[in-house]
Amino acid sequence: MIAIIDYGMGNLRSVYKGFLKVGVQAAVVEDPALVDGADGVVLPGVGAFGDAMINLRAAGMVGAIHRAVDAGKPLLGICLGQQLLFEASEEWGYNKGLGIFPGRVRRLPEGLKVPHMGWNQIEINKADPLLEGIPDYSSFYFVHSYAVDPSDKELILALTEYGTRFASIVGKGKVYGIQFHPEKSSALGLKILENFGRVVDLC
């Protein structure tokens, strides 16, 4: 079972329904013990980075997320959930993140219309099981004003162009982050959720 973490800032039902559509067992959870008992973890999120970290700490989820990663469980961060995987964000000052990946979250360059909203392409940088069956330059649905800037460029699985090239998918081992919303990205977005479910099943 995949635990979709509910910390008050996620598009939870859409993510849950996306997994349901592709036949992957998932549940929305608020209890860290249920994260501990899950086979895989999804960290969704919309809103402000700092508020999200406050909510995760208050819910006891920071420790649960780290325990999942330390145990080798697959983890998928979606949108804000991807950003939270990094060390810190520049959104509204300095805010410390989960620190699972090295790097910072930075605002999209001045002069661009933000949020970056709508369909945009990904350029696949590295083959990965998460991207199985996803053609290069496929389009997905984005809504964000900040993007991750990994210190380790080996983390970058795909890039997207929007006034600058930013990392739209990152990953190492079985831990992944995606900046777009797969649950809002039609058949190919659902394929990514299906692929993550397959990664979980193989563990």
Tens of pLDDT, residue by residue over 99-148, are: 999 999 999 999 999 999 999 999 999 999 999 999 999 999 999 999 99
Q: Is it the case that residue 93 has pLDDT exceeding 90?
A: no
Domain range enclosing 162: 2-202
Q: Is it the case that residue 203 has pLDDT exceeding 70?
A: no
Q: Which two tokens stand for residue 159?
A: 């890039």
Q: Which two tokens stand for residue 144?
A: 């964000």
Catalytic residue from among 91, 116, 144, 181: 181
Average pLDDT over residues 62-88: 98
Average pLDDT over residues 69-90: 98
Instruction: Report yes or no on whether pTM surpasses 0.85.
Output: yes
What is the pLDDT confidence band of residue 9, given thresholds at 50, 70 and 90?
confident
CATH code of residue 86: 3.40.50.880
Q: What pLDDT is recorded for position 10?
A: 76
Tens of pLDDT, residue by residue over 18-38, are: 999 999 999 999 999 999 999
Q: Clarify whether 79 is annotated catalytic.
A: yes
Q: Clarify whether 181 is annotated catalytic.
A: yes
Q: What pLDDT is recorded for position 41?
A: 98
Q: What is the DSSP letter of 153?
A: G
Query: How many domains would you assign to the chain?
Result: 1
What is the CB-side half-sphere exposure of residue 119 using CA atoms within 13 A? 8
Q: How far apart are CA 13 and CA 39, in angstroms?
A: 19
Tens of pLDDT, residue by residue over 146-165, are: 999 999 999 999 999 999 99
Q: How far apart are CA 48 and CA 41, in angstroms?
A: 21
Question: Which residue type does 167 have?
Answer: A
Q: Is 76 helix (H, G, I), strand (E, B) or coil?
A: strand
- Please spell the DSSP secondary structure of 187-199, one letter per residue: HHHHHHHHHHHHH
Catalytic residue from among 91, 116, 144, 183: 183
Question: Which residue type does 166 have?
Answer: F
